[in-house]
Structures are given as C-alpha cells and as structure tokens.
C-alpha cells in the first residue's frame, strides 16, 4: 500500500506517520521510550487502573526531553483507558501537514484504511474472522499536539 498522496504539483508526499511512542512515569514524571506501538497500547489501555511506572530507576535521566526536543511535534494522548487495537488490525496516527491535527485510521489485514466507526462496523460484518470483535474495541479519539513542541 502506497501511503504517499500527491500534492498540488503532483509530487508524492509521504504522510507524517506517528512511529515513536513514549509514556510519562507516574512517580518521577520523566518521559520513557516505549519499544513498540503494541507495548504503548497496553500501557494506554490500563491507564485508568494503574499509571505507568518506569522500569528504570527513577533517579536515572529521562529517555526523552519532550519539551526541549524541537526536532519533532509531540502528541499527548489525554484520553486514558482507550482500548487496545484488536488483533489483526493496526491503528495508525497521521499528523496533518499543518501539525495541528491528527487523523486516526485502522488498517485491515488487506491494507484498507478504516476511517470511521461506520466503516469499522461494515468491516466486522463482512469479515467472518472478526465477528467476535466489538465496535467498542475501536477508538478514533485523537491525541493532541503539544503546543510547546509545534514547529514555528
């Protein structure tokens, strides 16, 4: 699947896919790198019951200086307790070119992007292997860009 989209001049521009995940420790408030999107989703899905705590000693420096890193736009997932992405699908976040908004998609095993709960419901209905999947297992809630890290 080609994620590039043509711009006004016809050139293919790659989308700004979110591919780095961090979580803030509930004890020391330092930002820690999370190895994979799957690990991040587990942390996020449990956040209502238990805040994330570093595997490191809290005395060690943080892995990431979110507020001081001007090379990226950092997004904050303020909605805790979001469901973990159903097995076989992938949840992707695409930062719009303006860096002010994020789009959420679920990608099916066939590579089709689902952009709404209505599309998800149709996909579940049409795919026997996903019959036990609940619509509540999908969230299109978007993280918000941290104003301090937005490019000028």
Per-residue model confidence (pLDDT) at position 8: 54
Per-residue model confidence (pLDDT) at position 10: 54
Reduce the DSSP state of residue 44 to 3 states and report it: helix
Per-residue model confidence (pLDDT) at position 2: 45
What number of residues does the chain have? 152
Per-residue model confidence (pLDDT) at position 111: 95
Per-residue pLDDT of the chain (152 residues; tens, 9 = 90+): 445 445 455 554 556 777 888 888 888 888 888 888 888 888 888 887 888 888 767 888 888 887 777 777 777 776 667 888 999 999 998 888 877 788 999 999 999 999 999 999 999 999 999 989 999 999 998 887 776 544 44
Domain chopping of the chain, boundaries: 16-149
Sign of CA dihedral 94, 77, 68, 54: negative
Per-residue model confidence (pLDDT) at position 152: 43
Burial of 137 (0-12, 13-18, 19+ CB in 10 A): middle
CATH fold of 16-149 reads Methyl-cpg-binding Protein 2; Chain A (3.30.890)
Separation between Cα atoms, residue 68 and residue 74, nearest integer Å: 11
Per-residue model confidence (pLDDT) at position 134: 93
């Amino acid at each position: 699947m080609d994620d590039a989209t043509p711009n006004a001049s016809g050139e293919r521009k790659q989308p700004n896919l979110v591919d780095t995940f961090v979580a803030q420790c509930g004890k020391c408030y330092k930002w820690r790198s999370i190895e994979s999107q799957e690990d991040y989703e587990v942390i996020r899905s449990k956040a209502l019951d238990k805040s994330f705590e570093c595997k490191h000693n809290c005395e060690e420096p943080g892995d990431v200086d979110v507020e001081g890193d001007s090379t990226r736009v950092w997004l904050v997932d303020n909605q805790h307790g979001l469901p973990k992405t159903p097995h076989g699908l992938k949840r992707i976040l695409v930062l719009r070119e303006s860096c002010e908004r994020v789009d959420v998609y679920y990608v099916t095993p066939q590579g089709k992007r689902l952009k709404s709960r209505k599309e998800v419901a149709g996909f579940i209905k049409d795919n026997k292997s996903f019959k036990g999947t609940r619509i509540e297992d999908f969230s299109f809630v978007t993280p918000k860009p941290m104003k301090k890290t937005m490019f000028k």
